[in-house]
């Protein structure tokens, strides 16, 4: 099954655009988990068990695993193996390099770790993206409009034709196999709507809903418009209110699954 088919079928099967972000900050773990690499593994294992019924995708933030060195890489491999095959795996690595470096980053993340899709930085241009999309069974989400405030310092640069629109244009030109998407933050709804109108078929990965306060309805609306989409929630599901773990996580996952339900 090629990448875009897996993405769309995963969303359709769970009837939701939800993507659960796996950002296991050891300082925020419930009391039952030790604040070490073993505790992180046990926590993530229970998160996957509690949420796999509700989500079509997981986004693993590599920073929270790389901090543990080789042990972090090891538990990441083990956690990925626990995810059912019909759930899309996104490696939130934000890579962006050229030449052999990019080739080897792609092999490490899509062959060794077996991620379906990788987040990429576009600053080095199309050369930094191409190695990740050679295989039609693998894909990427390129940073276009990010949810953080200071992203505007570069992304809005360019006056009437800002850098984020040029980024989207490049992504559209590379999307010959349907495996190029973009990161579009829900905290900037005007740009979210604008880019969807101009590029209606590109898949979106939408962060910023939940703790960051992004607009839910706008995020759902742009996912409905032709291109497939995923709406990411990390802290709002991993660390919800309430002390009754994992019941509070299950309740949060159910809530966001329904909020991001496919309409019509």
Under DSSP, is residue 3 helix (H, G, I), strand (E, B) or coil? helix
Other C-beta atoms closer than 10 Å to the C-beta of 45 total 14
CA distances from 224 to 14, 205, 228 (A): 15, 13, 7
**Is 261 noted as a catalytic residue in this protein?**
no
Under DSSP, is residue 207 helix (H, G, I), strand (E, B) or coil? coil
- How far is residue 17's CA from residue 11's CA, in Å, rounded to a whole number? 6
Q: Do residues 248 and 242 make contact, with C-beta atoms less than 8 angstroms apart?
A: yes
- How far is residue 187's CA from residue 219's CA, in Å, rounded to a whole number? 9
Nearest-10 Cα torsion for 188, 191, 195, 198: 150
CA distances from 161 to 157, 187, 194 (A): 8, 20, 12
Other C-beta atoms closer than 10 Å to the C-beta of 258 total 12
Give me 133's structure tokens: 């999309």
Other C-beta atoms closer than 10 Å to the C-beta of 31 total 8
Annotated catalytic residue within 94, 114, 254, 255 = 94
- How far is residue 224's CA from residue 43's CA, in Å, rounded to a whole number? 33
**Could you give the residue numbers annotated as active site?**
94
């Amino acid at each position: 099954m090629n990448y875009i088919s897996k993405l769309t079928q995963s969303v359709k099967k769970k009837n939701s655009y939800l993507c659960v972000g796996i950002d296991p900050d050891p300082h925020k773990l419930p009391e039952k988990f030790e604040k070490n690499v073993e505790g992180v593994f046990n926590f993530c294992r229970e998160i996957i068990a509690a949420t796999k019924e509700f989500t079509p995708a997981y986004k693993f933030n590599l920073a929270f695993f790389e901090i543990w060195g080789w042990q972090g890489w090891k538990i990441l491999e083990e956690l990925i193996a626990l995810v059912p095959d019909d759930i899309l795996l996104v490696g939130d690595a934000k890579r962006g390099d050229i030449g052999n470096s990019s080739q080897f980053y792609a092999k490490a993340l899509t062959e060794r770790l077996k991620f379906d899709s990788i987040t990429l930085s576009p600053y080095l241009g199309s050369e930094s993206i191409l190695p990740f999309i050679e295989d039609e069974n693998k894909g990427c989400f390129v940073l276009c409009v990010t949810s953080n405030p200071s992203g505007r310092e570069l992304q809005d640069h360019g006056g009437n034709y800002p850098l984020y629109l040029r980024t989207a244009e490049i992504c559209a030109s590379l999307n010959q196999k349907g495996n190029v998407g973009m990161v579009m933050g829900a905290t900037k709804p005007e740009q979210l709507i604008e880019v969807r109108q101009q590029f209606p078929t590109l898949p979106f990965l939408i962060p910023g809903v939940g703790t960051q306060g992004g607009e839910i309805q706008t995020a759902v609306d742009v996912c409905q418009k032709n291109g497939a989409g995923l709406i990411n929630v990390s802290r709002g599901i991993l660390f919800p209110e309430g002390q009754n773990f994992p019941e509070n996580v299950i309740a949060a996952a159910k809530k966001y699954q329904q909020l991001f339900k496919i309409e019509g």
